[in-house]
Structure 1
Amino acid sequence: MYTQPQNRWSHYILSLIAGVAFTAAAPLFAQPHTGDPEESFAPDGYELAWEDDFNGHQLDHDKWFYRNGIDRGRTVMSRDNVILDHGHLNLVVQSGDFRINRETYPYYNGERDTFNYVGAGVISDWRFSLGYYEARSKMLDAHYWHPAYWLEVVNADDDNNLLRFHNRAEIDIMECEPQWPVAQSIRVHDWLTGGEHRKLPPKDPKTKHNMTIASDQSLGWYVWGMELTEDQAIFFENGRHVVTVDIPDDYRRDPMNIILSCVTIKDPEDSGIQKFDWVRYHEPASLRESDRKECERLIQFTSLVGPDFMDERDTEASNGWRQRASNAKKGDFVTYRVYVNEPGEYAVKLRTFAEDDATGAWRLTIDGEKQGKPIRADKSTGYVEWELGTKAFAEKGYAEFTLTCVNAKGKGAVLDFDWIELVKE
């Protein structure tokens, strides 16, 4: 058991560094959350859109897949160490000697078969954009493990295992620094064209760290939150403002997966359990209220891997961005969760963009039922608004709009999606 340090942490609190604007407001030593365990700190203007309270007996594979594989060549990530018990997600981490089965880790091609550490993690099937994110967690009481609650673009395979990270953008809502067991680092990362890795805020030139808050999470439960807007990431601890990071115009805007994990970077001697009580995403109420839904802002799931599904900046797009599906093969798809404000009959419209040489055709289904005629990329150069018939919704709430590639030629189909619109009849 370690003891909480005192004033030596004060020089890690953020200030204005290297011209990047951000403000810190949290107390030096954050205290555990002692209020209602179900309490949400979402600001006004947001609506709960997705959550998991981990009350089942096994992981919900409609919401999550496993973070399998080898992390940084040091930690074996095991799906067997992901355990649901008493309403908590338990990520069990262990120190010892562990031999991997290469059939279980098909994406590992290293020479070593034996590792000293086993970690665990889960990744959301769905991706999310602007909104308010929050999770309630309790850190394991063990040195030098690296628990984290963060966002990044990830894909899974058909067996609910991690396929790969895509290193386009990353936001760390809570990331415990293993070399400083009671410090939480909060960062916004991205990888620019050419591979440059940028961190916001950058490291303090004196301390060489991005520390923003000090707390011993093993003492109790903490609620970590982040409000993501067009130009800021605003971080909270137990509802109290920690830091605001201004996001540059050239930062990637791709919707990202939610990741809960625990690995090691140092050499821990102890084993332990990282606990999560619940995780939530709240979307902007304005998105629900609008008849027109910009595709890049919707909760979404896609079979397309990495660079084959990305946001593209375009001033002619409705919100300055559109989503490009490229190299799509027959059967590839993207599913959007669209909120229907009230029951009734609606005209369904879709705006797309296609280059002069675009190929392929796509079919829209709503909650599994075909809607309208196929969308022909090769017959729709530039921006086109498709009228896809009418649809009756029996109740308000989310409907799943799935665009599936039904015809692809050559290297695959290419089409950009701008917005979906529901017009009450």
Structure 2
Amino acid sequence: MKRYVMFPLILGAAVMVGACGNEEESAELEGWDLVWSDEFEGDELDDSKWRMDTGNGFYDGDEYVPGWGNEELQYYDEDNVTVSDGQLTLTAQEESASDDYGSYDYTSGKILTEGLFSQTYGRFEASIQLPEGQGYWPAFWMMPETDEYGGWAASGEIDIMENRGSETDAVGAAIHFGGVYPENTYWSDEYQFPEGESTTEFNTYAIEWEPEEIRWYVNDELYAETSQWYTENGEFPAPFDQDFHLILNLAVGGWYGGDPDETTEFPGEMNVDYVRVYEQD
């Protein structure tokens, strides 16, 4: 889930392996120790683990960047984040013009662990069901906690999963690095679901992040890996050698998949069964 429009330079090579089916979910993984998780029990978001983002942009110094730097159309609102029946739901909703949201025609939800939990290296995974529809842009991703190597994207970004709602048979993986925008670049790859499987079902999205390699998985199937990145302000394995926090959001519109159209059905929901973080034992 990017914060600015990128100029592509694709580096590295992906490794594709055969398809495998979903297996029974378990918090225990051989070779890994569970160190942080949220199973979304109860009826409200755990504010000891997550905080909510609101609005339609952010400040870069004194400059306000609307649309989160991606021409996104949604206004993030706390009312669009709910927890019930053992899962988190981020809801994208079409809105009528009102004083509450000004000129924004859509609201949605975004949560992150910034300031509450971050980690360097490990396995980061979530079980997520995605919405279908032109203009939906759900993502499970990571940003550096303290920007050790400078502003975006010199300090890196890790996209564990992002999706175009119009494409229910594929998800994307990416990292962003290099220099401070616009001197940044990225590496990316894509997972194609086997016939009969879809993003509209619950699937497990994960990375395994080590000092000199990051690997991407869908339902425990390895489909991409890279060890080629850099930052202008440090030595390899920088910038991916510092604490990153987690982010879940459901954007509407933007450059990744385009804007909603007359075929898009609202509301759209991104449902999350759990998020878990491990360290190698």
TM-score by length of 1: 0.51
Matched, 1:24 2:16: yes
User: Larger strand proportion, structure 1 or 2?
Assistant: 1
* 1:262 corresponding residue in structure 2: 250
Alpha-carbon spacing, 1:186–1:18, altered in 2? closer, same or farther (3 Å): closer
Q: Distance in 2 between matches of 1:52 and 1:184?
A: 23
Give the C-alpha shift of residue 257 in structure 1.
1.0
Match of 2:224 in 1: 243
Deviations 1:16-67 (A, max 9, x none): x96613312254xx86x3x42x32484x432000000000211111100002
* 8 Å contact from structure 1 (residues 190, 251) kept in 2: no
Distance in 2, Cα, partners of 1:18 & 1:169: 15
Contact 2:161 2:205 in 1 (8 A): yes
Q: Match for 1:183 among 152, 166, 170?
A: 170
Q: Greater RCO between the two (CA within 8 Å, min separation 6)?
A: 2
**Given the alignment, which residue of 109, 112, 129 partners 1:123?**
112
Residues 195, 18 of structure 1: alpha-carbon distance in 2 compared, 3 angstrom cutoff: closer
Query: Who is 2:215 aligned against?
Result: 234
Distance 1:140 1:243 in 2: 24
Maintained 8 Å contact 2:141/2:160: yes
Aligned position for 1:279: 275
Within 2, Cα distance between the matches of 1:118 and 1:230? 38
Q: Distance in 2 between matches of 1:54 and 1:90?
A: 10
Contact 2:211 2:237 in 1 (8 A): no
- Residues 1:83 and 2:71 aligned together: no
Match of 2:190 among 211, 232, 236: 211
How many residues of Structure 1 are paired with residues of Structure 2 in the alignment?
235
Aligned-residue RMSD, C-alpha: 2.5
SS at match of 1:22: coil
Q: How far apart are residue 247 of structure 1 and its match?
A: 3.7
What secondary structure, in the 3-state scheme, does the structure 2 residue paired with 1:97 have?
Answer: coil
Q: 1:213 to 1:98 in 2, by over 3 A?
A: farther
- TM-superposed CA distance for 1:76, in Å, is 0.5
Unaligned runs of 5+ in 2: 1-8, 57-66, 230-235
Q: 1:141 to 1:257 in 2, by over 3 A?
A: same
CA distance in 1 between counterparts of 2:178 and 2:41 reads 37
Q: Deviations over 1:238-258 (max 9, x none)?
A: 111111111432641231111
How many percent identity over aligned positions?
20
8 Å contact from structure 1 (residues 82, 89) kept in 2:
yes
Determine helix, strand or coil for the equivalent of 1:128: coil
Q: Secondary structure at the match of 2:117?
A: strand
The residue matched to 1:114 in structure 2 has which SS? coil
**Shift in alpha-carbon separation, 1:133–1:270, aligned structure 2, 3 A:** same
CA shift, 1:73, in A, is: 4.8
After superposition, where does 1:360-379 map in structure 2 within 5 Å?
Answer: none
- Post-superposition offset of 1:122: 0.7
Q: Deviations over 1:246-298 (max 9, x none)?
A: 1432641231111111002233232221100000000122xxxxxxxxxxxxx
Equivalent position of 2:35 in the other structure: 49
Question: TM-score if structure 2 supplies the norm length?
Answer: 0.75
Tell me the amino acid that sits aligned with residue 216 of structure 1. Answer: S
Counterpart Cα distance in 2 of 1:59 and 1:200: 33
Aligned to 2:186: 199
Contact 2:10-2:186 within 8 A present in 1 as well: no
What is the CA-CA distance between 1:152 and the residue it aligns to? 0.8
